Amino acid sequence: MTDERDLRIVELEADNAALRQEVERLSRRIVELEKKSGRNSQNSSMPPSSDTGGESCKVEPDRVGRGHDRFAYRDETRR
């Protein structure tokens, strides 16, 4: 019985090693495909910490002002 258990343990360890290699290969492939597609935290639901490369998360300033500033871009000739 011990020989059967030892054999089974060896088989499971081999399976485990093969699966770990496959996970590593697929993880690298995912990173490659995400880089190709240009996905990052700005155009997906991924958190900023998952962004790869040198680009940082940039927040655009408000284009429309608040309060009286909201008319700042009004045409001056229409007074």
**What's the pTM value of the predicted model, to 2 decimals?**
0.46
Report which DSSP code applies to 38: T
End-to-end CA distance of the chain: 96
Share of the chain above pLDDT 70, in %: 63
Instruction: Decide if 35 contacts 52 (C-beta within 8 A).
Output: yes
Q: 3-state DSSP call for residue 75?
A: coil
Task: List the one residue out of 34, 36, 58 whose CA is nearest residue 46.
Answer: 34
Question: What is the pLDDT averaged over residues 2-7?
Answer: 94
Domain ranges within the chain, ordered by starting residue: 1-42
Instruction: Decide if 15 contacts 21 (C-beta within 8 A).
Output: no
pLDDT for position 37: 82
How far, in Å, CA of 41 to CA of 56, rounded? 10
